[in-house]
Structure formats: structure tokens, C-alpha cells
Amino acid sequence: MSNRIQASTRRTTASRRVGRLHWADLDLVLLGAVLVLSLLGCLLIWSATLERDDLTSGDTRAFLVKQVVNVVLGLGLMVLVVVTDHRWVRILAPVGYLLAVLGLVLVLVMGSTVNGSRSWLMIGGMSLQPSELAKLAVVVGMALVVAERSEGRWRDRVGTSDVLLMLLVAGVPAVLILAQPDLGTMLVLTATVFGVIAASGAHRRWLGLLAGGGVAAAVLAVSSGMLKEYQVDRFLAFTNPALDPKGAGYNVEQARIAVGNGGLFGQGLFHGSQTQSGFVPEQHTDFVFTVAGEELGLAGAALIVGLLGVVLWRALRIASRTDDVFGRIAAAGIACWFGFQAFQNVGMCLGIMPVTGVPLPFVSYGGSSMFAGMLAVGLLQNIHLGALSAPASRLAPQERVLVRG
């Protein structure tokens, strides 16, 4: 009877432990940083569209409400990933990848063109940008390749065939994105793929080959006329905004003015002169960081950069603390994705990077970007919880059944 009581006690303890893993043991620092970024994004979007009757048709809270809905739906997707068993995450990864590729194909067949890029699908009155979801699909797909082929000895088993298979997984969406053409997403995807291959433990020569191949591809794209004229103009304006101050250089110049107006503490939320006058194009989406720079000043802009840094820190921390190959590569890939995209967005607002049209993670207006980002955060939390539950393998057999179940 005593043995039965002890076994029952162990099962109860294990069961309670599993319940805590999915809620009390979340990475609250990561979650908090994402929530604060999303809240700040809603306020900045509201300010950027407050006086824009051409966008809101007089409803000053239209974009605020839409973005709040995007955040709530994104959080729902994040929770869905968090509570999903990690085994099912790996099983469903190929399905997610195929859906992302299908979305990119549909964009080329029946998509809508916005700002020169055929990147959007209109579904039931809502717009969806499959290329945003493709970033996560590529990260997960490449991580799955490494995990399935080298589980347990990942650094010693990543060879030429593994790298080529990873490049194939990334190459299919990349070709479809380039055909839109969406240069900004392509740059982010390229940097992400580079980071995933580096994290996989591939030989350094592959990194050199990828870097050289990227430069050669860029030269070929420009010389062959693959890039559209407005995309080339954006790069020229980056090097010298005075070449076309009323065209491609206008965004760069107005963004610099807005950020420069902010000073240390800004002109006050909803009181930015450039922002409220609507001088910065696409300010609620790609140039939302200029709202923070002008209205919240250096302090507010630094807060956003700092919070993004926290997100990257926690992603890399999760990657370093898990023994699961799939989780390690996926978390590192997500960190590379968020890191380069944030650098590209902030850089183009400051004039140190060319204008390519990529959103600032968790801050810019848009459902597709928010959904992809929240799904990625959910995956990070799932990996984190999986690492915490790893010691369950040392429990008694009855308890391991309960923990895995």
C-alpha cells in the first residue's frame, strides 16, 4: 500500500509540474518585451495616422483599432504554438512550409500589387503578405533538415549534402519572393539563411561561399535589369539623397528631419511637427521608427532599440540552453531574422541603410508581420519550455509517461 501511495504522489507531482511548465515557466522577460513593443507600436501608429484623413477617412482611431486586433490575434497564435506539444511542432513544420510556398505561388498568380511589388493576397476583405510568414517557414524548415539528419551529433554531421538541402529549402521561397519582386524581404531572408547555416555548425567555407554568392547575385540583379527602376533609384538615393530630392530621396530626407527634430525627449506624443503634417511617407508602416524619434526623442527611440535587443538576447539565450537540435537552430534563426530586420528598418530611418520596405518587428502596422512575429515568439517559448522539461527523462518510467503525455 505504501508503494502505491508513493507512486501516486510521484504521478501527482509530475502532473502538476507539466501544468506549471506551460504557464508559470514561460520566459516572462521575452513576453514582456514583446508586449511593451506592441503597445508602443499601437500608440505610434495612432499618432502617425491621427491627422491623415486620406488614410482614415476621418476615423482617427481606425488604424489603432486595426492594430490592436492584429496584436490580439497574434497573441492568440502565439498561445496556440506555446501549448502545442513540441513533437507536433516538428511534425507540422513541413505543412507550414508547404502552405507558405503555396501562398507565395498564389501571390504571383492572383496577388495585388502595392508600391510596385506583387506581394499581397486579398482574402475576405483582408490583406495577407505570405512573404512575412515565409521567413518563419524557412527558419523552421532549415532547422528541421539539420535535426532530422544529424540528431544527437549535430556539429559533426552537418556536411555538404546537409547544407545543400538547407539551401534548397530556402531557395524555393527565395525565388518566388524575388519574382514579386520584394527586395526588402529577400535581404532579410538572405541574412537569416546565413545565420541559420552558421548556427548549424557548417564549415566556415560555406559562409564564405554564401557571402561571395550574395554579392555576385546582387551585381547580376542590377546589371541584368532584374530590379525595377524604383528599386535602383532607392539605392542611388541612399548613397546621395540629393540626386532625386522629390522622388526616391524624399523618404530618406524627411525621415532624417523627423528623427532630428526629436532631440533628447521628443516633441511629445501626438505633437510631432513632421508626423502630424504627414511629411514622412508610409510612416505608420515602414517608417514608424521616425515617429518615436520625433515625438519620444532619443530616450523613446533608445527604449525601442533596447526592447528589441532584449528580444534578441532572450532568443539567443533560449538557443544556447536547449539540447534539442531543432530548437537550437530554430531559435538562432529567429534571432538572426529579428536582428537583421530591425537593423534594416531602423537603419533606413536613420539614413544608414537603403530604403527597402521592411517592417519594424512588433511595432510597424500590419497583420502579416505581427502574426509571423508572434508565431516566432510562440515557437521560442515552446523551445524554452521543452528545455525546462528535459530533466523529466530522469524521472521514474510512470512519471515520464505523464510528462510526455
Residues 371-395 pLDDT 10s = 999 999 999 999 999 887 765 444 3
State the cell numbers at 267.
516633441
CA 312 to chain centre: 11
Rg (CA), the chain: 23
Quote the pLDDT of residue 119. Answer: 79
- Sign, CA dihedral 117-118-121-125, equals positive
Nearest to 69 by CA among 285, 367, 362: 367
Contact 250, 282 (CB under 8 A): no
Q: Quick one: pLDDT at residue 377? A: 97
pLDDT of residue 21: 52
Measured CA to CA, the distance from residue 169 to residue 123 in angstroms comes to 27
Q: Name the stretches of the chain with pLDDT < 70.
A: 1-23, 115-116, 125, 150-157, 217-248, 390-405
pLDDT for the residue numbered 57: 82
166-to-57, 67, 100, 138, 172 alpha-carbon distances in Å: 47, 35, 16, 9, 11
The reported pLDDT for the residue numbered 239 is 67
Report the Cα 72 to chain-centroid distance in Å: 17
The DSSP code for 360 is: P
* H runs (alpha helix) in 50-182: 53-56, 62-82, 86-110, 130-150, 154-157, 160-178
At 266 the three-state DSSP class reads coil
pLDDT of residue 240: 67
Write down the pLDDT at residue 219.
67
Cβ pair 329, 316 in contact under 8 A: no
Residue 222, C-alpha cell as written in the block: 542590377
Question: Residue 16: what pLDDT?
Answer: 40
Question: What is the pLDDT, as a whole number, of residue 242?
Answer: 66
As a whole number, the mean pLDDT across the chain is 82
Which residue bears the cell 541612399? 238
Q: Which residues contact 40 (CB under 8 A, 6 or more apart)?
A: 292, 303, 304, 307, 363
* pLDDT score, position 288: 95
Output the pLDDT for position 19.
45
Spatial neighbors of 268 by CB under 8 A, at least 6 apart, are: 295
Q: Which pTM was predicted?
A: 0.86
* Size of the chain, expressed as the number of residues it contains: 405
The model's pLDDT over 170-228, given as tens digits with 9 standing for 90+, comes to: 999 998 988 887 888 888 999 999 999 988 888 788 888 887 777 776 666 666 666 66
* Cell 507512486, residue located: 7
pLDDT of residue 64: 95
pLDDT for 52: 86
